[in-house]
A and B are shown apart, each in its own frame.
Chain A
Amino acid sequence: ETGVTQSPTHLIKTRGQQVTLRCSSQSGHNTVSWYQQALGQGPQFIFQYYREEENGRGNFPPRFSGLQFPNYSSELNVNALELDDSALYLCASSRGWGGNEQFFGPGTRLTVL
């Protein structure tokens, strides 16, 4: 059974640019959640996708958007990057529409200069 994978591992961007982060969910999982973890803080919920539709959103502006594909992999897009967007971005997959245990990937470390 393949676990949750994320790419890239690390990324450096400059303020104002756009970034796309990718996540492959664990086999058999159809729900993907994205989290932002700033240094020294707990992860914060960005949004969740279930069967290719956004299914819940945290307190993040619209420049944070996402997609889920028919194979249940997912992308997180962030436009107009700001310095405060520097963080570890975590993807978690689960079976069903969000009420079950979430399995996290290793994360993508984004640095905005």
Chain B
Amino acid sequence: DAKTTQPPSMDCAEGRAANLPCNHSTISGNEYVYWYRQIHSQGPQYIIHGLKNNETNEMASLIITEDRKSSTLILPHATLRDTAVYYCIVRVATSGTYKYIFGTGTRLKVLA
């Protein structure tokens, strides 16, 4: 069922951009890519999502390759509060609804 592959961990210096990669080579044409983060076993928090085009909001930017087989989440100026597990998710259609397929996530540590 796994649709996404992410590196297990990454470090980033405070104030620098954090670039988190995700591979979703088996994604179908109508399946969206979502990013959530989870801080210390709290509920996951929505960051951003996209289908084909690059997206930007107040939290992050999402860059999706033209073939849609991979994407990168960019946190432009990482802070210590951005330390969390980041999940790249593919939203798939299933028996009348949609479900999120979570990967195992990337544990991002922002260093002072």
> A interface vs B, CB < 8 Å?
4, 33, 35, 40-45, 48, 50, 55-59, 88, 90, 92, 97-99, 101-107, 109
What are 18 of the A-B contact pairs (CB < 8 Å)? Answer: A4-B43, A33-B99, A41-B104, A42-B102, A43-B44, A44-B102, A45-B100, A48-B97, A55-B96, A55-B97, A56-B95, A56-B98, A56-B99, A88-B41, A99-B91, A101-B49, A102-B46, A104-B44
Closest chain A residue, CB of each to CB of B98: A98
Complex CA–CA separation, A103 to B46 (angstroms)? 7
Asked if B27 is an interface residue, CB under 8 A from chain A, the answer is: no
Number of interface residues of B (CB under 8 A): 24
> B interface vs A, CB < 8 Å?
1, 34, 36, 41-46, 49, 87, 91, 94-105
Closest chain B residue, CB of each to CB of A31: B97
**Which of A50, A104, A109 touches B45 (beta carbons < 8 Å)?**
A104
Closest chain B residue, CB of each to CB of A46: B99
